[in-house]
Amino acid sequence: MRTPNDSFAERRKTAQEARLKLLTKFASAPKPTDPAMQERLAAREAAAVARSARRAERDALKAAENERVLADTAALAAAAEVHERAEAEARQAEVNNRTACVVADEAARKAERDRRYAARKARQG
């Protein structure tokens, strides 16, 4: 640290010592060929492999869930369509039944009218 009384030579010496400390720090750092560094690197790689395996498993589960949801949705849609079609057929059958009843009633009325007409003509003679 600089103080007002430091001379240029002292400041230069202090800076040189700081550079040397930094160099010794990096020189004492473990090398990539060091067994401890190899062990740490292997642990990192194992963790990365495990992480990617978990991610793949999670993705597979999501894909299976999505397929199941799609299948359920398709089944529900098919069931709703069948139900709708059955209701439409039932409504159509009801309309056909009413129409048949109206036609039958009209035919019965006509037959009754014709019978009365024929009876009147027979009486008149």
Q: Report pLDDT for 2.
A: 58
Run of H or E including 33: none
Listed in sequence order, the DSSP H helices in the chain are: 8-28, 35-124
For residues 3-16, give the mean pLDDT: 85
Q: How far apart are CA 33 and CA 27, in angstroms?
A: 14
User: Are the C-beta atoms of residues 52 and 58 closer than 8 Å to each other?
Assistant: no
pLDDT-derived band of residue 34, with 50, 70 and 90 as boundaries?
confident
Name the residue with tokens 């359920």: 72
- The yes-or-no verdict on residue 4 having pLDDT over 60 is yes
Q: How far apart are CA 15 and CA 91, in angstroms?
A: 98
Read off the pLDDT of residues 86-107 as tens digits, 9 standing for 90 and up: 999 999 999 999 999 999 999 9
- The yes-or-no verdict on residue 12 having pLDDT over 60 is yes
